[in-house]
Chains A and B, each alone.
Chain A
């Protein structure tokens, strides 16, 4: 589906409840739309690729955004708008109108905890959902890895053709 308007999209990553501004998400795809990774992609930890508007985007496990690489059940892929990456998550929750929720900050000591990146606060909507700012997560490291792989992938595609 294509996400319309300004809202917050809630999603699950294993037992964690998270949310993202829909402005940050271009598309939500089923995990089945992901292609298998090449060997070099797999070596870097990428799960595969998705094709969006003729562009192949690498898919990372959503846990990478949280700073570790546990393997939850993955059911959906969020295609990010602000960086050429897609993030696999367990399942999508619901869309919340932004004006109906106000993020509450985490306790400062918890927010500063080394393992927690990119969580801007929590919103209350039948439970708490942690609002992620994708650009403040460690995903930029994955982008660098992808940029390192890409020239090799292009050359291997050229040599095959």
Chain B
């Protein structure tokens, strides 16, 4: 008689929960390299339109993405944090209102994204509900690739 197969629950995934303008989003924590406070962002001549400039991050220059503009949710009036993400060996800072929390989410909690803003759909991999918030899970690869496009 064969041994019974052990059924393990699907592992939870860690997400960084953040706000951009007035909206709630999440980024898988394994795509986050760090969170820093917004400092002086210097505009770069000729940079792609969604890159608002560079910030000195511990002696190296980090290009900063205007995430709110890319997601078409208005201007970022109170950006307090920069979430440093990486994709395909390329590092970029995403300007956000605030990094709020780190949450553990089981795969059952992730739903198909139903963004009402059509322009956002390509930047979302899923959505989830946390308390009263509908949270869009951001596709870092899509954000980075679109953000650096000329």
Chain A positions within 8 Å of B, measured between CB atoms, are 13, 15-18, 66-68, 104-107, 109-110, 113-117, 119, 122, 124, 127-128, 130
Select the residue from B54, B62, B148 with max chain A CB neighbours within 10 A: B54
Chain B positions within 8 Å of A, measured between CB atoms, are 40, 42-48, 51, 54, 56, 59-63, 90-91, 148, 150
Known: A15-B43, A66-B45, A110-B54. 11 other contacts (CB 8 A): A16-B45, A67-B46, A104-B61, A107-B54, A107-B62, A107-B90, A110-B47, A115-B47, A119-B44, A124-B56, A128-B42
In the complex, the answer to whether B43 meets A104 with C-beta atoms within 8 Å is no
In the complex, the answer to whether B62 meets A113 with C-beta atoms within 8 Å is no
**CB closest chain-B residue, reference A105:** B61
Cα-based distance from A128 to B61 in the complex (angstroms): 10
Residues of B within 8 Å of A122, CB to CB, are 42, 54, 56, 61
In the complex, the answer to whether B54 meets A128 with C-beta atoms within 8 Å is yes
**CB closest chain-A residue, reference B150:** A114
In the complex, the answer to whether A116 meets B91 with C-beta atoms within 8 Å is no
Cα-based distance from A127 to B40 in the complex (angstroms): 7
Residues of A within 8 Å of B43, CB to CB, are 15-16
In the complex, the answer to whether A106 meets B45 with C-beta atoms within 8 Å is no
| Chain A min CB distance to B121 (Å) | 26
In the complex, the answer to whether A130 meets B45 with C-beta atoms within 8 Å is yes
In the complex, the answer to whether A115 meets B59 with C-beta atoms within 8 Å is no
In the complex, the answer to whether A17 meets B42 with C-beta atoms within 8 Å is yes
- Given the known interface contacts A109-B90, A110-B51, the answer about A116 and B45 at a Cβ–Cβ threshold of 8 Å is yes
Residues of B within 8 Å of A130, CB to CB, are 42, 44-45
Residues of B within 8 Å of A67, CB to CB, are 45-46
Cα-based distance from A137 to B91 in the complex (angstroms): 26
